[in-house]
Amino acid sequence: MTTTNATAAPHTSVSTHILDTSVGRPAQGVAVSLSAREGSGAAWAALGRSATDPDGRCKDLPALPEGTTHVRLDFGTEDYFLGEGQGPAAVAADQQADAQQDAPANRDSGAFFPEVAITFAVKPGEHYHVPLLLNPFGYSVYRGS
């Protein structure tokens, strides 16, 4: 009887977290969607959805399928800024007097960035941590560790 030593395909994974720089806290309750594709011209395949936890992190995004070359993270920031879930507008409602001084004036009138989509290239076997630094009128992303 012969045995074969099968080598597992390299595991490629993605994680993210969001910091709301306007209030100096993690952004809790932001919807996050993960999509992937094999090559620039290929169609996007939805892989999973999650939401940020009280620490602003998504810890349950699925591993990427073999052959993935591009990944897209979609963040649903509008509900967060309008006070759905645990966004700063919800905090402001709980702490009206103090929060009104610190909250930007435009928070209740809508979100300037109702969604943020980040697309990046990946290589097999690597982990990609992509933090989002968010505020009502801007955002920044980078490859973390």
* Domain residue ranges of the chain, discontinuous segments joined by +: 13-141
pLDDT value of position 111 = 81
Spatial distance between the Cα atoms of 134 and 20, rounded to a whole number of angstroms:
5
Beta bridge partners of 141: 132
Three-state DSSP class for residue 133? strand
Class of domain 13-141: mainly beta
Q: What is the model's pTM?
A: 0.78
Task: Considering only CA atoms, give the Rg of the chain.
Answer: 18
Spatial distance between the Cα atoms of 130 and 34, rounded to a whole number of angstroms:
12
Quote the DSSP letter at residue 144: B
Q: Residue 70 in contact with residue 36, Cβ under 8 Å?
A: yes
Find the range with the poorest average confidence among 40-49, 54-63, 106-115, 133-142: 106-115
Query: What mean pLDDT comes out for the span 29-56?
Result: 96
* 42 band by pLDDT with thresholds 50, 70 and 90: very high
Query: What mean pLDDT comes out for the span 135-139?
Result: 93
**First-to-final CA distance of the chain:** 45
Quote the DSSP letter at residue 23: T
Spatial distance between the Cα atoms of 31 and 16, rounded to a whole number of angstroms:
12
